[in-house]
Amino acid sequence: MIHIHTLANGLTILIEEMADVRSASFSLMMPAGSLYEEPGTNGTAAALADWITRGAGQYSNRGLSSALDRLGVQRDEQVGWNFLNFTGAMLADNLLPALRIYSEILTQSHLDESQFEPVMAGLEQGLLAQEDDLQRKTVVELRKRCYDMPWGRPSDGALEELEAITGEHVRRHYRRGVVPQGAILGIAGNVHARQVIAELESLLGSWKGTAPEQPLRVPAVGGKLHIEHHSAQTHLAWAYPAVSSSHPDYYAAWAATSILGGGSSSRLFTEVRENRGLVYTVYASLNTLKTEGRTIVYAGTTTERAQETWNVTLGELRRLAATITDEELERCKVRAKSSLIMQQESTGSRASSIARDWFHLGRVTTMDEIRQRVEELTVEQVSAYARAYPPENMTVVTIGVAPVGE
């Protein structure tokens, strides 16, 4: 059973009691993602994700880390396009003490100026390292072009904009986005919902702030981009329209993408890598925003085999709708069931899932509902989806010695 409670200030709390586990986890999503950065300061949200935990309330930078370590909190801070997300997993008995510490992070972060330079230096080093990861760079550039801005903005930041970011930019982002209205807190584990809600009312009931307004859209560039890079490898990425996670055909879209490129038995892996030996990596993924989605396909190959990889991969994309088999769909369902079993045993997965569901769907889907939706899929449904969302109107990014394509 999912317990749903909204504080008067707008914070939505979702709690799933799991009596058969010893742990508890939380996922706290605040409307402070990269969408809300000021123009020309891409990286502000990523800087805040680090800076915000370097001292808060009664805790110094080191004291804060030590306090969470003593509670055994396995934690992370992640930046997305919509949200800045805190996640934590611990023994269930330590959930409430951990939430007390995080309430100070939310409402009393020091944002100490002496810590700002180390934060930005770390962010720069991370982005420099990513410049050498051409597979990742290809997909980042693809997203910049296939989605309207600022939804295409890199959540990790952009090297060329870091110098423009000041401490005050980050503080404004904190004040604008680390607010209760529009924030979602998912909790799962061996907890008592009423007790947790009462504690959160006490800790965060006086927290104030309204959600930031949605930014204006700048239409996607689309088209094809080649980035010249002299190496023995060529990187190819395609994106074309798909459905959002709230669409009635979402599960058919998931199955079609999984059959196409979701594992070692997928079409792309079997034909492009195993049978022809064209690539070292190839995959397809379903990437969804709240109101739209994209199928994203990536292939990494050698310069000599880049054109053949292009031809064979596009051929597989184009023939998918007419050739899906019962056997392929059944394999897809088995993988989904295995994943669901693992999620059911993980408080971290459940906490994150229920928070994401609330944002995308306005409700929480149960494991049984997901299992039923997957089990009910037919080849006809998946094929119909693939026909309705063919590989057309594609955005393409290639990185290598020379352009590749039709």
CB 283 within 8 A of CB 262: yes
CB 6 within 8 A of CB 358: no
Distance (Å, rounded) from C-alpha 4 to C-alpha 153? 32
CATH code of residue 100:
3.30.830.10
Would residue 406 count as lying in a domain? no
H/E stretch holding 388: helix 379-388
% of the chain at pLDDT higher than 70: 99
Would residue 76 count as lying in a domain? yes
- Is a pLDDT exceeding 90 seen at residue 194? yes
Same domain membership, residue 313 and residue 196: no
Same domain membership, residue 371 and residue 228: yes
Same domain membership, residue 386 and residue 262: yes
Same domain membership, residue 128 and residue 97: yes
Model confidence over 287-318: pLDDT tens digits?
A: 999 999 999 999 999 999 999 999 999 999 99
> What mean pLDDT comes out for the span 341-345?
70
Same domain membership, residue 339 and residue 228: yes
> Looking at residue 406, what is its pLDDT?
75
Number of independent structural domains in the chain? 2
Would residue 142 count as lying in a domain? yes
Would residue 219 count as lying in a domain? no
Same domain membership, residue 321 and residue 234: yes
Same domain membership, residue 190 and residue 148: yes
Would residue 209 count as lying in a domain? no
Q: 204, 235, 254: which is the final residue of a domain?
A: 204
DSSP string of 213-281, one letter each residue:
PPPPPB----SEEEEE--SSEEEEEEEEEE--TTSTTHHHHHHHHHHHHSSTTSHHIIIIIIIT--EEE
How many residues would you count in the chain?
406
Would residue 213 count as lying in a domain? no
Same domain membership, residue 198 and residue 89: yes
> Looking at residue 338, what is its pLDDT?
81
CB 332 within 8 A of CB 262: yes
> Looking at residue 27, what is its pLDDT?
98
Question: Quick one: pLDDT band at residue 337, thresholds 50, 70, 90?
Answer: confident
Distance (Å, rounded) from C-alpha 168 to C-alpha 317? 47
> Looking at residue 339, what is its pLDDT?
79
Would residue 109 count as lying in a domain? yes
User: How deeply is 35 buried, as exposed, middle or buried, from its count of CB atoms within 10 A (0-12, 13-18, 19+)?
Assistant: buried
Would residue 128 count as lying in a domain? yes
> Looking at residue 348, what is its pLDDT?
94
**For the chain, what is the mean pLDDT?**
95
Same domain membership, residue 169 and residue 242: no
Model confidence over 175-188: pLDDT tens digits?
A: 999 999 999 999 99
- What residue numbers bound the domain in which 98 lies? 2-204
Best CA proximity match to 258, nearest among 342, 338, 328: 328
Same domain membership, residue 275 and residue 200: no
Same domain membership, residue 228 and residue 196: no
Q: Please give the model's pTM, rounded to 2 decimal places.
A: 0.93
Model confidence over 238-288: pLDDT tens digits?
A: 999 999 999 999 999 999 999 999 888 899 999 999 999 999 999 999 999
Same domain membership, residue 377 and residue 241: yes
